A and B are shown apart, each in its own frame.
Chain A
Amino acid sequence: MKVSIFVTCVVDQLFPATGMAMATVLERAGCEIHFPEDQTCCGQPAFNTGYRDEAATVARHTMKVLQGSDYVVVPAGSCASMMCHHYTDLFATGTDHDAARQLAPRVVEFSKFLTDVLKVEDLGARFDGVVTYHDACHSLRELGIKDGPRRLLSKVRGLELREMDIPEECCGFGGTFSVKFPGVSGGMARTKIDSIVRTGADILVSADSSCLMQMAGAISRAGLPIRTMHLAEVLASR
């Protein structure tokens, strides 16, 4: 199957290993990967901050870049949700609306693509460690992803998954919220991290790099010996 990947601006700049791992996993699952070179950002930062005109400019560009792809796989629930839910809100009518509707069903979050489109769960991965899984809010509540990532993790040899008492609670990132209300955002991250610590896990796994950036930053500030990894990196391990 031919798939395009949209790696997101955060992965491109800060976590390129996540993008590479996603490509590796998809190839092992039999996909032929295409990386549309002209991709930049999905426009969510502007959209969530209320700058709809600016978000529309970016969205139009992204829709053009991804035209003609059968599937667009994204390593972040919130960017995927921006493209498959909010583009159609952004463009209420006209050719842009049609383009948004065309794109929406073809954009699939990474873990959902594996479990629901390719229908694979065992990627032959091996990873020795105790991990806990953070449900990214937009994956969970806008895309309905809950069991899929856990099923994928359950097939990883050597891996033990320990659930947090609050796996579904927001990490506090929220895009520009994290800098508009830094104290609240930081407090939310610390609440989440307390729960991670209680599991005794060594590694925090999620399928959204923005959440991981927030929590890795707070874990590092607290000086805790916990690593953060994207789901793709765990699934690419052998």
Chain B
Amino acid sequence: MSTSHLDHQDFGRIINNTLADPHLQKAVYTATGRLMSHRRSAIEPHLLPDYQELREQARLVKLHTIENLDWYLEQFERNVVAHGGHVHWCRDAEEVAETVLSIARPRGVKLVVKSKSMTSEEVHLNDRLAEHGIESVETDLGEYILQLLKQRPYHIIAPALHLTRYDVADLFEEKLGTPHDTVIENQTRTARVVLREAFLRADMGISGANFLVADSGAIVVVENEGNARLSTSAPRVHVAIAGIEKVIPRAQDLATFLKLLARSATGQMLSAYTSFLSGPRRAGEVDGPEEFHVILLDGGRTKLLEDEEKRTSLTCIRCGACLNHCPVYRKIGGHSFPWVYSGPIGAILTPQFHGLDAEPALPFASSLCGACAEVCPVKIDIPKILLRLRSDIKESEKGTAEHQFERMAFRAYAYAAARPKLWRRLTKIGARFSGPGIRNGASLPVVRDWLSQRDLPAPAAKSFRELWKERRP
């Protein structure tokens, strides 16, 4: 896949803009901090004594499913069809857009209501629908706000995390012409008036899916606003778009995943709404859509299956905990990331789905602190995968001009570090010359970058090995 599938190539520039915006810095730090503390309270031992066992169980079930993906997906398809639904297999984002259009156009769909779906963000579905004169309305409050702003989600579960109620008050006043109001409940009411109208008029509802349950052919949608429940039941056609990795073997596995998902995401015991949707309205039922379609997207996922380490990336349940706990995400925010998935999980998914050259700086934007792996409900070892991707990138740079100076420096370092006499001589010379001269002159780019933020300690007058020698005659 080419780099054109990324949303932007401005990683470094957006990072700097974000760092320079104190309003944004505060909004992101506060909102993620709140989610961190909610999660911490929700997994306290007296509330969830088997938290670590649940994580291990979740990891094993997901891994088993990923390792038998073909089998479970086909089982899922058979069961969806048995309930009267349809399953569409799509290789890439383009095929998803084509499939949605092929369902919408013959049925005369004019208005689509969408509930939050990260997978549909991979597709840029709203733009594609608009090209064909089909209007789509995002019905998750955060997503609705972002649609008005023409922005993409800032965060996997809290799309408008970077905006404060004051930002929203300004936006609604400007776009909807409503009086300036900073009370969140009133803002919700304002959005609700617009969205109710859309729900009633819509011909098609598009949702994501948190889980595809193979043994029952149901999809599970987890949400807090009830908009997903309306989007999937009010319009006459329901289309769910999900990545193929969302499948789980059995309905009973939800006992594990639902305990972990909301707690990890928002610190709730369970989200306000958990919908189990299996097929269209049946004879004698009073509500539900006339048609039920599930679109399964590969979109680069199957490429990861052959590698034992990398395939663990596909076990992610998109809770967003790694974003909230990542000190880098909390500084650079979600829009710096070049693709829809941001934070630590975005840093490992983007290069694996789109190729290492898509944004080669991305896996390096981590201090490898490990906070992400510590909170991951399915125990993905994100730092380890980042290290793998870093070395894959350096391998791919061999024989090119990329980072030539850095490569030479590390070669020289390794050469010297394996030769103790040379190492001793060089460090001694280094210590002599890295006195005030280098620190004031700051001629080396590495030193300049260090000094742009903080001071550098002066090398000691005598190294440890010299002091040690003096102590032991």
Q: Collect the chain B residues with CB atoms within 8 Å of residue A173's CB.
A: 367
Contacts of B416 in A (CB 8 A): 40
In the complex, the answer to whether A13 meets B427 with C-beta atoms within 8 Å is yes
Among residues of B, the one whose C-beta sits closest to the C-beta of A43 is B417
Given A19-B464, A188-B331, also A13-B431 (CB < 8 A): yes
Cβ of A186: which chain B residues have Cβ within 8 Å of it?
452-454
The distance in angstroms between the C-alpha atoms of A66 and B456, with both chains bound, is 30
B contact residues around A45 at 8 Å (CB): 410, 413
Contact A137–B369 (Cβ < 8 Å): yes
Q: For B418, give the chain A residue with the smallest CB separation.
A: A61
User: Any chain B CB within 8 A of the CB of A7?
Assistant: yes
Chain A residues closer than 8 Å to B414, beta-carbon distance: 43, 46, 51, 53-55, 57-58
Task: Known contacts A49-B406, A181-B15; decide if A217 and B455 are in contact (CB<8 Å).
Answer: yes
> Are B420 and A40 in touch, CB under 8 angstroms?
yes
Chain B residues bordering chain A, tally (CB within 8 A): 60
Known: A46-B413, A50-B387, A50-B391. 16 other contacts (CB 8 A): A35-B468, A37-B420, A47-B387, A50-B394, A51-B410, A51-B414, A54-B414, A57-B417, A57-B418, A137-B367, A141-B370, A176-B364, A184-B19, A186-B452, A188-B328, A213-B457
* Min distance, Cβ A7 to any Cβ of chain B, angstroms: 5
* B394 engages A221 (CB within 8 Å): no
B331 to chain A, nearest CB (A): 5
Specify which chain B residues have a CB less than 8 angstroms from the CB of A149 in the assembled complex: none
0/1 per residue, B359-377, Cβ < 8 Å to A?
A: 0010011111111011000
Give chain B's interface secondary structure class: helix
Min distance, Cβ A73 to any Cβ of chain B, angstroms: 14
* Cα–Cα distance between A214 and B416 once the two chains are bound (Å): 25
Complexed CA–CA distance, A217 and B431 (Å):
18
Of all chain A residues, the one with the shortest Cβ separation from B450 is A179
> What CA separation (Å) do A49 and B409 show in the bound complex?
12
Q: Which residues of A contact B423 (CB under 8 A)?
A: 40-41
Chain A contact surface mostly? helix
| A106: min CB distance to chain B, Å | 20
B453 touches A183 (CB 8 A): yes
Measured between alpha carbons, how far is A172 from B332 in the docked complex, in Å?
13
Which A residues are CB-close (under 8 A) to B371?
137, 141, 168-170
Q: Which 5 pairs of residues, A with B, have the shortest CB-CB distance?
A: A186-B453, A174-B367, A217-B454, A50-B390, A170-B369
**Could you jot down 15 A-B contacts, CB within 8 Å?**
A12-B464, A13-B460, A16-B463, A20-B467, A45-B410, A50-B390, A50-B391, A58-B413, A141-B371, A170-B371, A174-B367, A175-B367, A175-B368, A179-B449, A217-B453
Q: Identify the interface centre among B332, B368, B420, B431: most chain A CB within 10 Å of its CB.
A: B368
**Contact status B365-A181, CB under 8 Å:** yes
Question: Is B418 touching A174 in the complex (CB atoms < 8 A)?
Answer: no
Q: How many Å from the CB of B237 to the closest CB on chain A?
A: 45
Residue ranges of A at the interface with B (Cβ–Cβ < 8 Å): 7, 9, 11-17, 19-20, 23, 35, 37-41, 43, 45-55, 57-58, 60-61, 65, 89, 137-138, 140-142, 168-170, 172-189, 191, 213-214, 216-218, 220-221
Known contacts A37-B465, A57-B417; A169/B391 CB under 8 A: no
Q: Closest CB-CB distance, B250 to chain A, in whole Å?
A: 33
User: Chain A residues near B411 (CB, 8 Å)?
Assistant: 54
Known: A170-B371, A213-B457. A183 touches B406 (CB 8 A): no
* Bound Cα distance from A178 to B420, whole angstroms: 27
What residues on B are CB-neighbors of A168 within 8 Å?
371
On chain B, the residues within 8 Å of A7 by CB distance are 464
CB-nearest residue of chain B to A7: B464
Q: Which of B404-435 contact A (CB under 8 A)?
A: 406-407, 410-411, 413-418, 420, 423, 427, 430-431
Which residues of chain B in 273-331 are interfacial with respect to chain A, using CB atoms and an 8 Å cutoff? 327-328, 331
| Interface: B182 (CB within 8 A) | no
Q: Nearest residue in A to B373 (C-beta to C-beta)?
A: A141
Tell me if A16 and B367 are in contact (CB < 8 A).
Answer: no
Query: In whole angstroms, what is the CA distance A157 to B304 when docked?
Result: 55
Is B410 in contact with A54, judged by CB distance below 8 angstroms?
A: yes
A217 in contact with B387 (CB, 8 Å): no
**A12 to B29 alpha-carbon distance, docked (Å):** 37
Q: In the bound complex, do residue A177 and residue B366 qualify as a contact, i.e. CB atoms below 8 Å apart? A: yes
In the complex, A189 Cα to B327 Cα: how many Å? 10
Q: Determine if A61 and B391 form an interchain contact, defined as CB atoms under 8 angstroms apart.
A: no
The answer for the CA separation of A20 and B366 in the assembled complex, in Å, is 32
Residues from chain B with Cβ under 8 Å of A49 in the complex? 364, 390, 394, 406, 410
CB distance from A97 to the nearest CB of B (A): 16
Given known A13-B431, A189-B453, contact A183–B15 (CB-CB < 8 A): yes
A218 contacts B454, C-beta separation under 8 Å: yes
B371 to chain A, nearest CB (A): 7
